[in-house]
Structures are given as structure tokens and as C-alpha cells.
Amino acid sequence: MKRLTLLLFLVSTLSFAQQQPLKIFISVDMEGIGGIGSPKMTSGNGKDYGLGRQLMTDEVNAVVSAIFELGDAYILVNDSHGDMQNLLHTKLDPRVEYVQSNIKPLGMVQGLDDTFDAVIFIGYHTRAGTPNGFLAHTGSGSVKGLWINGKEVGEGGLNAHFAGALGVPVVLAAGDLAFTKQIQELFPVRTVSTKESIGSSAAKMTHPSKVHEMLKEQTKAAMQDLSNAKPIEVGEPTTLKMKFSSTTRADILMSIPEMKRIDGTTVEYIAKSMDAAYRLIRVMYKYISW
Ligand SMILES: [Zn+2]
């Protein structure tokens, strides 16, 4: 009798485990959204910003609907652009939870932890200094370069490292064509290209409806292939190096104990973990001013 009880318990535990909904984290930036082809559409007081918000919300909903078509899921969406109050939250698919606004210590990955099964990036862009990258930048205009353990990364690469240290794979990344190429140089990942940038502030666009179709298709493929997805490996302690546009910011950052000066505009720091590195990076470029 005891054996049978144990067996029943194990079977029910197993089936319960199998029925656990997938946990998916979506980080959504704005520059790489399909249909956004001018810098003004990404800025609060710019022409057609309202349309930009709608397009951003539509892309999230396209991805979310594709995930739910395959089964139950818990989805957390993090608004990751500018002041992080861009999504039209009342128009988001009601099945998601979402993180809105600033100030949050983990910025574009706020809410992500090791209980998630996968991460999706939407609306992403290339790192600072990338030719033909639509509105290419890393965090803010003051950053000229960022390296994690010697590898140059932009926002997508940085966030993928954060996820990797938690053991969570990035399974889909969408943004302009140069971004999709750049992120694939760091690790293998499914991508959707939304536009081909002409210089840094104009682009040849794919129609948003077509982008939504591609996003749905690639989201489903990513979900079906989840068992093969691998998180990127991140060495800890984690060395971060940042190059800035001015020597003044580097001067100020030298007030942090153990910060090392590499050259006039570049500093380096060895953090005990990727999590610690991420939090410090955010302080270094965003919250320090003079
Ligand atoms: Zn942005």
C-alpha cells in the first residue's frame, strides 16, 4: 500500500511538473520596432511618438499571442526604453504582467530571475558606434564602448549576459538588420529584422504587419525548440570595462574603490558577479552626473 501511495504521489508530481506553464520574460525597447523609422517616433515629444507606442505594443502582443497559441504561459513584459513608460498598457494583451517606468536597478532586465525558461528581446538596436545601426547607442550617449569579460557588447549583449548568468537562454531577438547580425556574432539566436538602417537615423522599412507575421512565426519556432536553447556562459567574477565620451565621467568614477583607470576615458572594474556588474554599469552611465 505504501509503495502504491508513493508511486501515485510521484506520478502526480511528475504530471504537475509537466503542466507548469512556461515562464517567458520579454524586454521591449523602441528603436528596433517595426514601423519606427525616425528618431522622433521614439521620443516623448516627437512627431508620431503616439504611433510608435502603438507599434511597440502591437509587437509585444504579436509575440504574446504566438506563445499562448502553443499553451499556457506566464509572461512578464518589461518596458525598456527611455523613461520606460512607452507601452500602451491598457492595450497590452491582458494575459501578461508588465513592469512599467523607472527608476529600477536592473533596467531592461528588471524582473528577470532564474525561474524563467526563456528571454525574448523586441525592438532592440546596435551598440554605440555601429555603422548603419538605427539609433545605435549603448545605454546613453555618454558611453562609447562596453566590454564584459573582454567581449564588446551593446544593450542586447549585456542583457543576454545577465540572463546567461542566471541560466536563462535568450531565444529570440528582434530589431534592425545590423542589430540582428551583431547579436548573432555573440551567440546563436533566432532573429527578426524589422528594418535596414540607412546611416543612423533613417531606414528602409519592412511593413509592421509583415514584421508581426515574422515575429509570430519565429516565436513559435523558438518555443518549440526551447529544449535546445542554451544560456550563454558568463565568467564570474565578471570584469566590466567602459569607455566614455569625456574624461570627467572617468575622473568621477575613480571615486569607486577598486575602479581601475585604463586610459583617459576608459575604466575597468572586477565585480563579484554578473548581477553586481549589471547594477554598477547602470549606475556608472545613468545615475552619475555632474
Ligand atoms: Zn531605447
Which residues crowd ion ligand 1, with CB under 5 Å?
A: 29-30, 81
Is 81 catalytic? The answer is: no
Domain extent listing, the chain: 22-143+155-228, 238-287
Per DSSP, helices labelled H in 39-188 are 49-70, 155-165, 177-186
- CA pair distance 267, 147, nearest whole angstrom: 11
Q: What is the pLDDT of residue 290?
A: 72
Give 213-240 pLDDT, tens digit per residue.
Answer: 999 999 999 999 999 999 999 999 999 9
Q: Which of 125, 137, 161, 212 is catalytic?
A: 137
The CATH architecture assigned to 238-287 reads: 2-Layer Sandwich (3.30)
Edge-to-edge strands, sheet with 22-28: 97-99, 73-79, 22-28, 118-124, 170-175, 190-193
Same fold, 22-143+155-228 and 238-287: no
Give 88-145 pLDDT, tens digit per residue.
Answer: 999 999 999 999 999 999 999 999 999 999 999 999 999 999 999 999 999 999 999 9
Q: What is the pLDDT of residue 17?
A: 47
Q: How far is the CA of 28 from the centre of ligand 1 (A)?
A: 8
Residues 268, 257 contacting (CB under 8 angstroms):
no
Give 255-267 pLDDT, tens digit per residue.
Answer: 999 999 999 999 9
Q: How far is the CA of 171 from the centre of ligand 1 (A)?
A: 20
- 23 three-state secondary structure: strand
Q: How far is the CA of 108 from the centre of ligand 1 (A)?
A: 9
- CA pair distance 87, 99, nearest whole angstrom: 10
CATH topology for the 22-143+155-228 domain? Rossmann fold (3.40.50)
Q: How far is the CA of 44 from the centre of ligand 1 (A)?
A: 12
Q: What is the pLDDT of residue 270?
A: 98
